[in-house]
Amino acid sequence: MSMKRIGFVGYDGVTALDLFGPLEVFDTANTHSPDAQRFYEPVVLSPTGAPFMLEQRVLVTPHAALADALPLDTVILPGGSGARDSNKTQMIATWLRANANKFRRTASVCIGIYILGETGLLDGRRA
C-alpha cells in the first residue's frame, strides 16, 4: 500500500481538538503497523502557508500553503469559530472548489462543514 498524504486545513479560529484529534488518528495508524510501514503522511496546511491562531490562542506553523499542498489523498476541514467567518475561509473554499476532483475524499469535523458548504460541493447532497 502506498503512503497517502492527508491534508488538515488550518485557519485562524480553528479548534485544537478538531485539528489535532484527527491528525493523531492517522499518525497513530502509522505507529501500529506490524511491519513498521507508514500508511499516512499527515500535513497541516494554511491558506497562504503563514502561521494561524487556534481558538485556544496557540500559534501553529503549517507544513505548506494550500497552493503547494498537492498531491493529497484526503482533505480534512476541522471546525472552530473561524469556520463561521467567510472572510477567514473564502480562500479555503475557493481552493477546495477548484481542486475537489483531485482528492479521493474530503471530510469535515464538526462546524468545519460550514467551509465545505461554502464551496457548493454539498449542493444537492445529504450531509
Q: Tens digit of pLDDT for each residue in 5-60?
A: 999 999 999 999 999 999 999 999 988 777 777 899 999 999 999 999 999 999 99
31-44 pLDDT, tens digit per residue, is 877 777 789 999 99
Q: How far is the C-alpha of 17 from the C-alpha of 70, rounded, in Å?
A: 24
* Residue pLDDT, tens place only, 79-109: 999 999 999 899 999 999 999 999 999 999 9
Q: How far apart, in whole angstroms, are the C-alpha atoms of residue 115 and residue 40? A: 24
Does the pTM of the predicted model rise above 0.75?
yes
Has residue 1 got a pLDDT over 70? no
Contact at 8 Å (CB) between 71 and 102? yes
Residue 122 CB neighbours (<10 A) = 14
The DSSP result for 10-64, as a single string, is --TTB-HHHHHHHHHHHHHHHHT-TT----EEEEEEESSS--EEBTTS-EE--SE
- Cβ atoms 16, 53 nearer than 8 A: no
